[in-house]
Chains A and B, each alone.
Chain A
Amino acid sequence: MATYYSEEHEWITVEGDVATLGITQHAADQLGEVVFVEQREAGEEFEKGGEIGVIESVKAASEIYAPLDGEVVEVNETLADNPGALNESPEGDAWIYKIKLSDASQLDDLMDLDGYKALIG
């Protein structure tokens, strides 16, 4: 199991051909208190760089951008009733999607933890 990070402050943990995607604690801290999450439905395909959801804090709405090509296979439905979980455990229980990767080689474009830590300083 390996975890990758994007410049858009997402994390992806890969197990076999399924990956779990969420936002980093750093991103959650920057957003402030999350009050609403708009998610895509299972079965939707997406391309790298496309918008795959919106996270709204008290202050503002922020888009989630796909870090690679894939298909949503499962949506974390607990976020609809408990969006605040994204502030408490964004890298744990408050994952956003399980996705099927279209092209695992795209993982090579992402960062490891050390690279991400360097990005956020």
Chain B
Amino acid sequence: MTDAPKRTPLYDLHVELGGKMVDFAGWEMPVQYPMGIMGEHKQCREKAALFDVSHMGQVILRGENVGEKLETLCPQAYAGLKEGKARYGFFTNEDGGIMDDLIVSNGGDHYFVVVNAALRHQDIPHMRANLNGVEVTEIFDRALVAVQGPKAEDVVGELCPAARELKFMETTLAEIGGVECRISRLGYTGEDGYEISIPEADAIRVSKLFLAHDDCEPAGLGARDSLRLEAGLCLYGNDIDQSTSPIEASLSWAIQKRRKEEGGFPGAARIQKELAEGTAKKLVGIKPEGRAPARQGVEIQSESGDTLGAITSGSFGPTVGGPVAMGYVAADHSAAGTKVNLIIRGKAQPAEIVALPFVTQNYKR
């Protein structure tokens, strides 16, 4: 990518707060602030943290039967998604691989979709080409801010009482600081919290209202990555991609029963076959026994030295207090409790397959 990185509506705030800016998927984003990744991570687990996620694509879909039409691209039951509800899902390709993961919300007279930053250029034409009769509008004039953590309800609720009434995966329009925002009770940290779509002209002012709360501090992409990894949540491009199926990625929970039975989405043949017969490999949690982090690409071997797969995400988990990882292993070695070796810089380091997540998810159901 040779273009200069783009800036979100919160860029000036990041600089003012001392954010260390890096290029991420073509966007100039804060990887951390002066508090540091560990502190920001713990801030989110213990109190509340504010993240700029404006680099993600926000899309409005309008038309007849949008939910039904989305079912032709996604294995989720979006036709039955009630107004005011949001649902995690993914676009699948004809081979049953994952094109991108996304969140779809039913806003009543429209659907609101959030896709990954790096795949905006793919997803929006994909929807335009395949959702016949649906008006697909990419939003460029709104920020997206995540307020996450056990105190997020207080931070957001003190400014917007309607936010307190939402349950996990519910969404509404409401005023914050005199401006209408879309507030959705969801996120990607494993904690309770909100993602809030704010008109760009008001984005810094509203973010500062959140940050004025004693329990809310800014956090960058570094903490966002360690938080989602501890929460066992997949990162597109690391843990899932065009070749991995949702069943291999242990995402069958995100495909509703009717869709599993009926099919009718791209790659249904492979996905239904894998649901019935299992897969050759499986995405699992991996806990190294020592202190050395196992990074993306590290080979996973059985105790007898056979190659089982590779780490797809690995780092230090500040809440766990040690290294944590996810990766694909041969299905016959995917049971929790299985001992494996990780080949880190040429040396075998013992590790164990564990159930995900590494930390208990703390959603308000």
Shortest CB–CB separation between residue A96 and chain B, in angstroms?
16
Flag B1-45 by CB within 8 Å of A: 1 or 0 each.
000000000000000000000000000000110001110000000
Shortest CB–CB separation between residue A28 and chain B, in angstroms?
12
Please tell me if A45 contacts chain B, counting CB pairs below 8 Å: no
Residue in B31, B318, B323, B345 whose beta carbon sits within 8 Å of that of A59 in the complex: B31
Flag A48-80 by CB within 8 Å of B: 1 or 0 each.
000000101011110000000000000000001
Known contacts A33-B36, A33-B37, A33-B38; A56 and B345 CB within 8 A of each other: no
The interface residues of chain B lying within 8 Å CB-to-CB of A33 are 36-38
Known contacts A38-B345, A59-B222; A32 and B295 CB within 8 A of each other: no
Please tell me if A35 contacts chain B, counting CB pairs below 8 Å: yes
The interface residues of chain A lying within 8 Å CB-to-CB of B37 are 32-33, 58-59
How many B residues, CB 8 Å from partner? 16
Flag B291-331 by CB within 8 Å of A: 1 or 0 each.
11101000000000000000000011010000100000000
Flag B218-234 by CB within 8 Å of A: 1 or 0 each.
00001000100000000
Shortest CB–CB separation between residue B217 and chain A, in angstroms?
16
Q: How far is the CA of A33 from the CA of B20 in the complex (A)?
A: 14
The interface residues of chain B lying within 8 Å CB-to-CB of A38 are 292, 345
The interface residues of chain A lying within 8 Å CB-to-CB of B315 are 58-59
B292 near A32 with CB under 8 A, answer no
Shortest CB–CB separation between residue A60 and chain B, in angstroms?
8
Shortest CB–CB separation between residue B29 and chain A, in angstroms?
14
Closest A residue to B295 by CB, please name it. A61
A36 near B316 with CB under 8 A, answer yes
The interface residues of chain A lying within 8 Å CB-to-CB of B293 are 35-36, 56, 61
Q: How far is the CA of A38 from the CA of B290 in the complex (A)?
A: 11
Closest B residue to A84 by CB, please name it. B38
Q: How far is the CA of A33 from the CA of B318 in the complex (A)?
A: 11
The interface residues of chain B lying within 8 Å CB-to-CB of A36 are 291-293, 316, 323
Shortest CB–CB separation between residue B318 and chain A, in angstroms?
7
Q: How far is the CA of A18 from the CA of B306 in the complex (A)?
A: 44
B31 near A58 with CB under 8 A, answer no
In the A-B complex, the 5 residue pairs with the smallest Cβ-Cβ separation, listed nearest first, are A35-B316, A58-B37, A36-B291, A33-B38, A58-B316
27 CB < 8 A contacts A-B: A32-B32, A32-B222, A33-B36, A33-B37, A35-B291, A35-B316, A35-B323, A36-B292, A36-B316, A38-B292, A38-B345, A54-B345, A56-B293, A56-B316, A58-B38, A58-B222, A58-B226, A58-B315, A58-B316, A58-B318, A59-B31, A59-B315, A60-B295, A61-B293, A61-B295, A80-B291, A83-B291
